[in-house]
């Protein structure tokens, strides 16, 4: 739990750490819920179409080749997360975007650590709230 320790002084109130952890968990849940809302209702755009084609080829061939014969290696972690989800669920827009929504929410935790060393608690909470509830995924 050293991750949450640096911003507390020895004279902090006893329940302050627990309140902060609960606040962060609540923000993560709200932000994840907002990211999941309408996740499958929009059409694919930009790189999502290329990612979908690479995933389709991965399902067909076991590797994601493109038309040139090369292997599609852009964003491999997300591609294989999508592959695992498609093995469990179905191939649709919702499951294509789910890894991005999940990783976009989880990035709050590593971003919180360095920020708490730079900002006071009120600024840190405002920054975390804006980052989590914003469209930065």
Does some domain include residue 3?
no
pLDDT digits (tens, 9 = 90+) for 92-129: 888 888 888 888 888 877 777 777 777 777 777 777 77
Query: What's residue 85's pLDDT?
Result: 87
Q: What is the domain count for the chain?
A: 2
pLDDT digits (tens, 9 = 90+) for 64-90: 887 777 787 787 888 888 888 888 888
Query: What's residue 134's pLDDT?
Result: 63
Domain that holds residue 67: 41-100
pLDDT band at residue 27 under the 50/70/90 scheme: confident
Does some domain include residue 11?
no
Query: Do 114 and 95 fall into the same domain?
Result: no
* Spatial CB neighbours of 82, under 8 Å, sequence gap ≥ 6: 51, 55, 95, 96, 98, 99
Query: Do 57 and 21 fall into the same domain?
Result: no
Does some domain include residue 9?
no
Does some domain include residue 6?
no
Query: Do 47 and 81 fall into the same domain?
Result: yes
Q: Which two tokens stand for residue 72?
A: 């599609």
Q: What is the pTM of this model?
A: 0.67
Query: What's residue 34's pLDDT?
Result: 82
Does some domain include residue 128?
yes
């Amino acid at each position: 739990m050293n991750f949450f320790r640096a911003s507390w002084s020895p004279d902090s109130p006893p329940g302050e750490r627990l309140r902060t952890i609960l606040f962060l968990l609540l923000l993560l849940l709200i932000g994840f819920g907002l990211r999941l809302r309408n996740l499958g209702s929009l059409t694919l755009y930009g790189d999502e179409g290329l990612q979908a084609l690479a995933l389709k080829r991965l399902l067909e061939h076991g590797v994601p080749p493109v038309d040139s014969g090369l292997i599609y290696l852009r964003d491999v972690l997300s591609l294989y997360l999508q592959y695992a989800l498609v093995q469990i669920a179905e191939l649709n827009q919702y499951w294509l975007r789910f890894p991005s929504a999940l990783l976009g929410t989880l990035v709050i935790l590593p971003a919180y650590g360095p920020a708490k060393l730079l900002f006071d608690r009120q600024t840190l909470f405002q920054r975390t709230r804006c980052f989590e509830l914003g469209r930065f995924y």
